[in-house]
Amino acid sequence: MSEPTEFIEEVLGVLRNAEEEKLEGLFHGINLPPNWFEMVAPEFTGLFGMELTGLIIDISELEDYQLQTLRMAPQNVQDNVKHAIKIDYVVLDSDQNESGTLTLPIYSMDGTYKILLVGG
């Protein structure tokens, strides 16, 4: 995968098709407990079946608190984060058309992209 735009399509495909078995492979975790995936998976499996759109944004567009979290990663990881993934979702079966956005940094290494999760 040579472009971050290809990665967003992969992420959206996994979420749209409820491919739970492929979900964990989309992430790179730093400073997280051994059961980190079980803790974050519900946030993403909760998007299964929703109307989703996504785009790649520059890392500078992250909120300050997200940038502070990113600074907890080792410098070599920080150096490989140039973009973030922004996923907008709409709850289709909701009376109020509830919606929201997830914005997370993308870690790139050797032409592979992963959603970066950093613990403290």
Distance (Å, rounded) from C-alpha 22 to C-alpha 10?
10
DSSP lists the bridge partners of residue 114 as 107
Supply the CATH number for residue 108's domain: 3.10.450
Task: Dump pLDDT digits (tens) for 21-39.
Answer: 999 999 999 999 999 999 9
Query: How many domains are there within the chain?
Result: 1
Q: What pLDDT does 77 receive? A: 94
| Phi, psi of 86, deg, nearest 5 | -120, 115
Residue 1 pLDDT exceeds 70: no
Determine the structural domain holding residue 18 and report its residue range: 4-118
What are the contacts of 112-115 at 24+ separation with CB within 8 A?
112/1, 113/1, 113/4, 113/6, 113/7, 114/26, 114/27, 114/28, 115/11, 115/26, 115/27, 115/28, 115/85
Torsional class of 31: left (φ above 0), alpha (ψ -120 to 50), beta (otherwise): left
What is the reported pTM? 0.88
Q: What pLDDT does 55 receive? A: 95
Task: Dump pLDDT digits (tens) for 72-81.
Answer: 999 999 999 9
